[in-house]
Amino acid sequence: MSLSVAASTQQLTAETVFELLQRVRERAPRVHAITNAVAQTFTANVLLAIGAVPSMTISVEEVAGFASSADALLINLGTLDTARRDAIPIAIEAAKGAGRPVSIDPVFADRSTVRCAYAKTLMASCPDLVRLNERELDALFPQRADVEAMIASGTVLAVTGAEDKIESVNEDFRLLNGHPLMARVTATGCAGGAVLAAFASVERDIALAAASGLSVFNIAGEIAGERAAGPGSLVPELLDALYTMTIRDIEIRLKTV
């Protein structure tokens, strides 16, 4: 299967976002997540809450089979130990060979020159989606020309922050949803990256998938933040908000620029 990027030029609407969420719920795509040790349980539960299915082996003997048979592959560099470093290239090659969308989250690429160099080698595989923050973006792509070259290669960039930015060849999105408490729970961003991977598995327009997935996750964060007493109660409220989200929730809260 050949994946197209940003084929759609339609404006992001609550109806579109909810339609993609419903596709995930109906199709139950499996996301193979090679993610960091801190994020595994939370990421798995977030995927289950939106209707997707997680798998997470990092065994070099198994990872090719898991990645090629999954509906999407997520690579997260949060804890880049030897086992993950060895498994990641195998998984990417297998997923690419099977035509599965590949999403990379180069966590803390700005904190380590070794990690940054490794992440740059992964960029050469032309992933379908890269989710990162501004500091990680600057470390991996020091010049705007580097960013433009990555986008021109067909990769969609999802740059998260107070304003989330989706950049692709044919369309860009600017999103404003989220809640401050989300930053007080470890691995929230990592789990959000898994949501984007799940959405990319059901929508060929990767930019639209990323914008919709981010919107769903951050709207759920807003709902959870308003209900929670603090970080300890945010997690169950977030899972419940993802599981029960309706089109009305999205209509009321969706914020774009």
Instruction: Please check whether residue 187 lies inside any domain of the structure.
Output: yes
End-to-end CA distance of the chain: 33
- pLDDT band for position 170 (cuts 50, 70, 90): confident
DSSP string, 161-193: SSSEEEE-SS-EEEE----GGGGGSTTHHHHHH
Instruction: Please check whether residue 4 lies inside any domain of the structure.
Output: no
Which of 254, 241, 246 has the alpha carbon at shortest distance from 212?
A: 254
Instruction: Please check whether residue 131 lies inside any domain of the structure.
Output: yes
Percentage of the chain surpassing pLDDT 90? 94
Please tell me the predicted confidence (pLDDT) of residue 11. 75
Per-residue tokens: 243: 């599981």
User: What range does the domain containing 227 cover?
Assistant: 14-253
Instruction: Please check whether residue 6 lies inside any domain of the structure.
Output: no
CA angle, 179 as apex, 174 and 183 as ends, to 5°? 100
Dihedral angle, C-alpha 11, 6, 18, 202, nearest 10 °: 160
User: Is residue 10 over pLDDT 70?
Assistant: no
User: Is residue 104 over pLDDT 50?
Assistant: yes
Instruction: Please check whether residue 119 lies inside any domain of the structure.
Output: yes
Instruction: Please check whether residue 5 lies inside any domain of the structure.
Output: no
Instruction: Please check whether residue 2 lies inside any domain of the structure.
Output: no
Please tell me the predicted confidence (pLDDT) of residue 47. 98
Instruction: Please check whether residue 1 lies inside any domain of the structure.
Output: no
Measuring CA to CA, how many Å separate 140 from each of 105, 203, 253? 12, 27, 33
* CATH code of the domain in which 233 resides: 3.40.1190.20
Number of domains in the chain: 1
Please tell me the predicted confidence (pLDDT) of residue 184. 96
pLDDT digits 0-9 by tens, 127-163: 999 999 999 999 999 999 999 999 999 999 999 999 9
User: Is residue 1 over pLDDT 50?
Assistant: no
Write out the H or E segment, with its range, that includes residue 132: strand 129-133
